[in-house]
């Protein structure tokens, strides 16, 4: 990914946000007395745990998509989409912590760049196949 330094930084930022969400879960585990390995307990802990797990689920799609899209879209556009994804995760978390019904905007800001990145990756592969 060194050929795509901005994209690399966008990926690192996304991973740092995920790490931060894990720290939030750890703090909530202590604050709301939810001992490991329990994955539910107090409703406030449950919200934080669910945000972390949803982010992990989204990372499983986002990370390969951003790496496959970078050669197709270029560094600047791909990194920009990565930043939108990360901003979406932050907005998702803040909304979910307030009220799980308030997560839609952040979820949309996560899914839109993911779909664009996947589309670009598909387009790049098809274009190469057609060119022979």
Q: What DSSP string describes 19-67? A: HHHHHHHHHHHHHTT--TT----SHHHHHHHHHHHHHHHHHHHHHHHHH
- What is the longest distance spanned by two Cα atoms in the chain? 60
Top CATH class of 5-125 equals mainly alpha
pLDDT of 33-68, one tens digit each? 999 999 999 999 999 999 999 999 999 999 999 999
pLDDT of 71-90, one tens digit each? 999 999 999 999 999 999 99
In angstroms, the Cα distances linking 128 to 3, 40, 114, 116, 125 are 20, 47, 21, 18, 5
Residue 1 has pLDDT above 70, yes or no: no
Residue spans per domain, the chain: 5-125
């Amino acid at each position: 990914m060194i050929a795509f330094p901005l994209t690399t930084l966008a990926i690192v930022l996304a991973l740092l946000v995920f790490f931060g969400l894990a720290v939030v879960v750890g703090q909530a585990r202590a604050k709301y007395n939810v001992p490991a390995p329990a994955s539910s307990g107090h409703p406030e802990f449950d919200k934080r745990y669910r945000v972390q797990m949803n982010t992990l689920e989204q990372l499983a799609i986002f990370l390969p998509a951003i790496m496959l899209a970078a050669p197709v879209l270029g560094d600047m556009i791909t990194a920009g989409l990565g930043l939108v994804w990360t901003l979406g995760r932050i907005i998702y978390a803040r909304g979910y912590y307030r009220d799980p019904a308030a997560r839609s905007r952040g979820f949309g800001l996560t899914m839109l760049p993911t779909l664009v990145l996947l589309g670009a990756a598909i387009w790049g592969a098809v274009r190469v196949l057609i060119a022979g």
